[in-house]
Structures are given as structure tokens and as C-alpha cells.
Amino acid sequence: MRWINRLEIVFTTAFVLGCLVGLAILAQAAFLAFAGGFNGMGVQLRVPGVDIEGLVADGVRLHSAGADLMVTPLDPSLPIAGLYLLDTLPALVVGLVAIRTLTRALHRARSGDRALFSHATVRLLRRLGWTVIGGTLIAALLGVLAKALLSSLLLTESAPVTLPAISTLTAIVAGAGALAVSEIIRRGLALLEEVEATI
């Protein structure tokens, strides 16, 4: 059970750090809304089609080029602050809910195997899976929308819509894995109950 205790400590620490990151995001949004940005703080946008003539070596063909920009609005703007939150907070909230659910499952595991392999754990894993899958998809769509609107507000030319990062697919696969594990435990419990009923 030592590894379970250590894993619970790791997830609890990650939850606390995630909450601190959330507070930092809220503080940055408050600055953007009421004071304007300052050096090193702003909105990150990706711009395709950057002119990098002379950067590639001879014998190399460049098909496309893009750049990540940190754009700092000098004047306070509530719309920009709101879109910044829409871009950053949903994914963080999904991650915090997932970590909290995992921590609860590990806390149950400290009570023994019967507490770990139980209907309550099945419910926790199902909630975890659907939260991660649904939350990740919603966060990705909100992020794409927020980036498109921020580009139209902060850039002279609207950047094309960027697809979600590969981490979105990874999170969805992890959520599907949680659902699969919950189903395995549920069927194992059903089989165990049948065996115990025949004894």
C-alpha cells in the first residue's frame, strides 16, 4: 500500500499546483481587464505564413512556416481578458476535476482491495472517463473559438483556425481507458457476486 500512499501524495500535490496555476491565470486576466498587459504577460497566438527567407540552407525546400507570438495588449480590455480565460481555464478545470477524482479513488484503495474493486470505484472511473472525454472536447472547441476571436482583435490579419493540440487526443484516449477499466471492474464484480451467490 506504500505506492498507493505515494501516488495519492503526488496527485494531491498536482491538484494544489494546478489550483495555484488557476489563480495565476485569473490574476493575469484581471491585469488584462483592468490594467493592460506588461512585458512577459500576454496572449499566445500562432501565426502561419511567416516570411523566413534566407533561413533555410541550400537544397532545402520550405513548404510552410509559422510562429508562436506572445501578444501584449497595452490598454485594458474586458473582452480580451474574457477570451483569454475562455482559452485557458476550461482545460485546467477538466484536469483538476480528473486529478481530484483519481485522488478519491486512490483514497478508497487505502482501505483494502474490496474497497478498491467496488461499485463505488466503477462509478468514480466512469465519471472520470466521461469528464475527461466530454470536458476535453468542450475545452478544445472553446479554445479554438477563443483563439479565432483573439486573432481578429489583436492581429491585423485574422489567422486561420488552428486545430487542437495532440494532447487533446491523448486526453480522450485516457478517458476511454478509464471507461474500459471501469467496465472490466464492473464485470469482475458481477462475476464475483454470481460465484458468492452459488456458495
- pLDDT of 95-120, one tens digit each? 999 999 988 888 877 776 666 778 88
Query: What gap in Å lies between CA 156 and CA 154, rounded to an integer?
Result: 7
- pLDDT of 121-179, one tens digit each? 888 899 999 999 999 999 999 998 998 888 888 887 766 666 677 788 899 999 999 99
* Arithmetic mean of pLDDT over the chain: 83
Read off the pTM.
Answer: 0.79
CB 151 within 8 A of CB 158: yes
Check residue 135 and give its pLDDT. Answer: 94
- pLDDT of 73-92, one tens digit each? 888 889 999 999 999 999 99
Query: What gap in Å lies between CA 143 and CA 148, rounded to an integer?
Result: 9
Task: Scan for cell 485522488, then name that residue.
Answer: 103
Partners of residue 87 on adjacent β-strands: none
CA atoms within 13 A on the CB side of 198: 5
